[in-house]
Amino acid sequence: MATRRFLLTGGAAALALSVPLRDAAARRHPHARPHPADGEGDGDDAASGDAGAAAGTPADTPIGPLDTAARWAIILDANTGSVLLQKAADEQMPPSSLTKMMTAYLVFQALSEQHLKLDQTLPVSERAWRMQGSKMFVPLGGQVGVEDLIRGMLIQSGNDACIVLAEGIAGSEDQFVVRMNEQAHRMGLTGTQFRNATGWPDPDHHMTARDIATLARHLIQDFPQYYHYFSEKDYKFNNIAQGNRNVLVDKGLADGLKTGHTDAGGFGLCASSERDGRRIIMVLNGLPSSHARVEEGARLLGWAFANFEDVKLFTRYETIQQIPVWLGTQPSVPAVTRDDVVLTLPHGWRSHVRIRVDYASPLAAPVAAGAQVATLTLTGAGPTNMTYPLVASVAVPRLSLPNRAIAVIEHSIGGG
């Protein structure tokens, strides 16, 4: 059997061979171990030490280099997964309180599996009560509701809240961290290693900007029923009013997720925002101040929405190619998409997309409906070498034995 490759042109899939795109989304930076973290988790009023050392290097984008004050950065489209900007996105870095996003993921998982309830209370151990850094001020020996603890963890970035939740779910923070690392492995967070549930500085506790963005995407997609906690602007616990540390949320520019700070990691932010049906996820770290975090975050979010658009190339179940079938009750089978094929592209770049269909020809009958029969590959603009399975839209049974014999004879006589 020969492999047939067709380059589709015309209509929605117009072809332009002359504008190759820099493969910014596929470029990888070598892993580099950062300076050991030596600050307090999420101490947003402290200096950032040496975290801005590499801030002068521009970020890679599909439309050319872009300056950013962040040492580590990535921006992606949450719907398509397309990377719009990256800078040292695969270098290991101190994640500080961005760690709490994984703590939240495991809490939401326990809630969804009914191992935990929002109206349930958990005991406050002395270890949790003594935890330093940002706090929600849980009472020693008291009982605190799970929903209050979630708000304390995500809005106030309370380290004490994280310890109470970790101990309540896994019995100890150490056992909870085992679960965090197991979940990181399942998500494919290859640059991540957790040593605690809070982001407290530890030289062996690290993530990458890409891993944090992936985790954020999982939080948004896996637990939409709990995502609203990230967007709450304030809450009150024990008669103490506490505001959301994510200023972009307070300004209405984002609806989540988390901020963080350590001396080694600088000021960091993972933010997400949805506008006109598009959702952007942004991770910045290594910024020199909380003010720079807000300014750079707002600027880059605006840049991502202004310069890119989601383009639907094919709709779900659209026929892309008729593929010949050998010894089948039909001479060919329609190869269709399983889902909408959507790309995030710079404005006006739709005509730059190169589209190829690969398949073995002819297919041998029988062909089952829904079986993958071809591969659609998109290159040339935005993220390159994106592949999508094409499936048979209908079943094609095999001919009966007499009809197969006739078809073989006719094929031989015809010289096929």
In one letter, which amino acid is 296? E
Known binding-site residues for substrate equal 258
Known binding-site residues equal 258
d(CA 142, CA 182): 31
Domain ranges of the chain: 2-20+315-414, 72-308
Treating both helix axes as pointing N-terminal to C-terminal, what angle do 100-112 and 173-187 enclose, rounded to 10 degrees? 90
Average pLDDT over residues 185-214: 97
The CATH number of domain 72-308, selected from 3.40.1350.10, 3.20.20.80, 3.40.50.300, 3.40.710.10: 3.40.710.10
State the pLDDT at residue 225: 97
User: Which pLDDT band holds residue 407 (cuts at 50, 70, 90)?
Assistant: low
User: Which pLDDT band holds residue 185 (cuts at 50, 70, 90)?
Assistant: very high
pLDDT of residue 46 exceeding 70:
no
d(CA 204, CA 330): 61
Of the listed ranges 70-84, 215-229, 274-288, 345-359, the one predicted with least confidence = 345-359
The tens digit of pLDDT for each residue in 54-97 reads 566 899 999 999 999 999 999 999 999 999 999 999 999 999 99
Residue 280: C-alpha distances to residues 44, 221, 312 (Å)? 24, 13, 17
Of the listed ranges 13-22, 130-139, 153-162, 281-290, the one predicted with least confidence = 13-22
Average pLDDT over residues 11-22: 30
pLDDT of residue 53 exceeding 70:
no
d(CA 220, CA 395): 37
pLDDT of residue 36 exceeding 90:
no
State the pLDDT at residue 110: 97
User: Which pLDDT band holds residue 383 (cuts at 50, 70, 90)?
Assistant: low
Q: Taking a C-beta distance cutoff of 8 angstroms, is the pair 138, 124 a contact?
A: yes
State the pLDDT at residue 382: 60
Average pLDDT over residues 141-157: 94
Closest to 284 in 3D by CA, of 210, 180, 219: 210
Answer whether 0.95 is exceeded by the pTM: no
User: Which pLDDT band holds residue 404 (cuts at 50, 70, 90)?
Assistant: low
Comparing 203 with 10, which gets the higher pLDDT? Answer: 203
User: Which pLDDT band holds residue 240 (cuts at 50, 70, 90)?
Assistant: confident
Bridging pattern class, strands 363-364 and 354-361: unpaired
The CATH number of domain 2-20+315-414, selected from 3.40.50.300, 2.60.410.10, 3.40.50.150, 3.40.50.80: 2.60.410.10
pLDDT of residue 403 exceeding 70:
yes
Provide CB contacts within 8 A for 127, sequence distance 6+. Answer: 163, 167, 173
Active site residues: 97, 100, 157
